[in-house]
Amino acid sequence: MNRKKALVVFSGGQDSTTCMFYAIAHYDEVELVTFNYGQRHSNEIEVAKSIAEEQGLKHHILDMSLLGQLSPNALTAHDMEITKEADEEMPNTFVPARNMLFLSFATALGYQIGAGTVITGVCETDYSGYPDCRDIFVKSMNVTANLAMDRNFVIETPLMWLDKKETWAMADDYGKLEYVREKTLTCYEGFIGDGCGECPACRLRNEGLNAYLNERD
């Protein structure tokens, strides 16, 4: 295992792009993996590709279209509307164990490329009811992956306990706030940067940004 090589689970959104800069700051070698699972916005993959290219990082794009076989849902079934209610217990974008599936593949790929660390931007602070974004799940997944491959991987989650404001602060620490703000895609409607401003993802992102900028400036 190479303790100085990290594989970042990378969607081209704010969180995983911030994790990418975290990885660049802390590791000698960084590679990215993006899962193509029929995202609502096909430009998600393009955004991820373009960031990877700009950073000169090796980028693995894995076809996860199998997810569609498991579960029709709002993010992959293009004819459904995303519920915008913030107070639902479980958003209708729920794919069972999606993050478990992603981390299973990411750790297997990590094994293949000799990366001792897999970094993922999941966080419990705004986990939206996905049980496989919780810290205790990631820790269990870490043990399971180690046992599966007889390797001591570390799954790192730099954002686990941060809120959006603190995630913006981290990007700023790396001098990348403007880059993350302008280049990443978070919006459910597929607009990069500050996005549509109205979907739950945009609201969360922009409220965090404004809170951080107000505090900083």
Both tokens of residue 37?
Answer: 């699972």
Among 20, 52, 145, 202, binds its own copies (CB under 8 A): 145
Q: Is 11 labelled as part of a ligand binding site?
A: yes
- Measured torsion, CA atoms of residues 117, 61, 91, 202, in degrees rounded to the nearest 10: 90
Residues 47 and 180: their CA atoms lie apart, in Å, by: 12
Q: Could you say whether residue 71 binds its own copies (CB under 8 A)?
A: yes
Q: Among the residues of 27-92, which ranges form H helices?
A: 43-55, 66-70
The tokens of 141 are what?
């997944």
Identified binder of its own copies from the candidate list 56, 81, 85, 136, rule CB under 8 A: 136
Candidates 80, 105, 128, 172; binder of its own copies (CB under 8 A) is 105
Residues 75, 35: Cα–Cα separation, whole Å: 13
CA 121 to CA 156: how far, in whole Å?
A: 8
For the bound state, the minimum distance from the C-beta of residue 217 to its own copies, rounded and expressed in Å, comes to 41
Q: Which of 2, 43, 104, 128 binds its own copies (CB under 8 A)?
A: 104
Tell me if 133 is assigned to a ligand binding site. Answer: no
Residues engaged in binding its own copies (CB under 8 A): 62-66, 69-71, 96-97, 99-101, 104-105, 107-109, 111-112, 131-132, 134, 136-137, 140-141, 143-145, 147-150
